[in-house]
Structure 1
Amino acid sequence: MKTIFDYQSQGQAGQIDSYVLLSNSPRRKELLQFLAPEIQSVEVDERRIEEQFMAEFAADDFLTRAAKTCCEISKAKSDLPLEPGKLYISADTIVVADDRIFNKPLDLAEAEAMLRSYFGKIHQVVTSVCLRTADSLDVFYTVAEIDFVDYYPALEEPIQTYIHDKQPLDKAGAYGIQELDPRFVAGISGDIHTIIGLPVAEVSRRIFSTKALENSRAL
């Protein structure tokens, strides 16, 4: 299963002195703590972007349409004045199930409906990442598949506990994989950090492989 897809690349990053995470997500901040990034909050109209690009990419299959749209949302988050020497990191995560995009639920009833819909099926989580400097752009996305077990009555209590105790309203698709009862998930294909919200291994590889290549060219 292919899990990493390039979307757009241009320019060269050049010298990077510091990092800026364009997100208030505590999960992404924790995953990127090895970079000690500055945190900067950004707001974009994600639903407007989603509507525009889902229509623009209508010729693609649904998962590809959704993933490309996710990339456009990540790009939009980095559309701001860029300081030289800084690498800006933005990301977006969506859940795709039954040819639908599941964003953050509006209320607990919608969160419960989302969670229940996963049982007995495989669904996908897409995280897009935009790595941007004043001189370069690198946008990619990763895909992971999650296989939920078939529902059975003994799962009802942990379902209700999750809905009411784990704050599903701030999570795409109404769940955080690290918080789910382990009885829910039969298997995962791909990088679990895609599901958590940032494919750290691929982010690090792209940042530091590029640095190594540029350093070798300078010798």
Structure 2
Amino acid sequence: MYINTMPIILASASPRRKLLLEQVGIVPKVIPSPVEEEGFLKDIDNPSRIVESLARAKAQWVIDRTTLPRVAVLAADTVVTLEGKLLGKPADAGEARAMLSSLSGSVHQVWTGVCVAVKSRKLEMRTWSCCTEVEFRKISGEEIDAYVLTGEPFDKAGGYGIQGMASGFVRTVRGSYTNVVGLPLAETIQTLIELEVIRPGTTQSLTTQSSL
């Protein structure tokens, strides 16, 4: 549905973000940024600032190191908040269980910060964040233990993946679903179009045009 007009680098190792882009025809090269999150997690009262700062730092790290004369870098970072408490990725099974227990029967917020950096004749950066409210039904200790044993919680903010086996925990989603997966896709596509990084079309339409 969309085609790149320039190379796109995804500054994230998240397979979910890559898959979301590929589902609409956007083909990125993956170069994960090694920016550490710990130094950005101090401003607990402003999660939007945390995720935006992280996304911008990750994009900047990659754009500073690419030798391509014309390229776009897309970076994102996601955190979960519950009653003012920040939930990142669980470090172990005990922390995963504690996170999921706290989310059980509650409404929490998922925040994703996104930065698009475009290097052409000049450097242009756009950064924003998106918040989605997610309500979990009451989940039992047995369900939590079984889910933790799958290994799915450990690379995900809040200790769960809405697109995976935890989908059965979710009662309602208010806002962008893809934001909870890891990338607010509608807003990202709009920004990439505005910055002329992508345009509507298919690889078949490119082949047709080149043969005329």
State the TM-score bracket (shorter-chain normalisation). 0.7 to 0.9
DSSP-derived class of the 1:124 partner: strand
1:184 lines up with 2:169 in the alignment = yes
Q: Deviations over 1:121-171 (max 9, x none)?
A: 1100001100002310100111100011235xxx33322211111431111
Q: Deviations over 1:45-101 (max 9, x none)?
A: 2111222xx17xxxxxx3xx1111110011111123254321100000000112111
Cα distance in 1, alignment partners of residues 166 and 195 from structure 2 = 39
Contact 1:158–1:181 at 8 Å: present in 2 too? Answer: no
Structure 1 residue 206 displacement after superposition: 1.2
Residue in structure 2 matched with residue 22 of structure 1 by the alignment? 11
Contact 2:161–2:167 at 8 Å: present in 1 too? Answer: no
- Give the partner amino acid of 1:190: G
Identify unmatched segments of 5+ residues in structure 1: 1-14, 56-61, 213-219
2:192 equivalent among 197, 204, 207: 207
Q: Deviations over 1:9-66 (max 9, x none)?
A: xxxxxx9511110111111111111211111121112111222xx17xxxxxx3xx11
Pairing 1:1-219 to 2, within 5 Å after superposition: 17-33=6-22, 34-51=25-42, 54=43, 62=45, 65-80=46-61, 81=64, 82=66, 83-134=68-119, 135-151=123-139, 155-211=140-196
Structure 1 residue 184 displacement after superposition: 2.0
Instruction: Out of 157-166 and 129-138, give the one that drifted further.
Output: 157-166
Cα distance in 2, alignment partners of residues 42 and 109 from structure 1 = 28
- Give the partner amino acid of 2:51: C
Please tell me the root mean square deviation across aligned C-alpha atoms, in Å: 1.9
Q: Deviations over 1:153-209 (max 9, x none)?
A: xx3332221111143111111100112444422211011111100111111111113
DSSP-derived class of the 2:41 partner: helix
Cα distance in 2, alignment partners of residues 186 and 49 from structure 1 = 31
In percent, how many aligned pairs have the same letter?
31
Taking structure 2 as the reference length, what is the TM-score of the superposition?
0.81
- Aligned pair count reads 185
Taking structure 1 as the reference length, what is the TM-score of the superposition?
0.78
Contact 1:166–1:179 at 8 Å: present in 2 too? Answer: no
- Give the partner amino acid of 1:95: V
Identify unmatched segments of 5+ residues in structure 2: 198-212
- Give the partner amino acid of 2:19: E
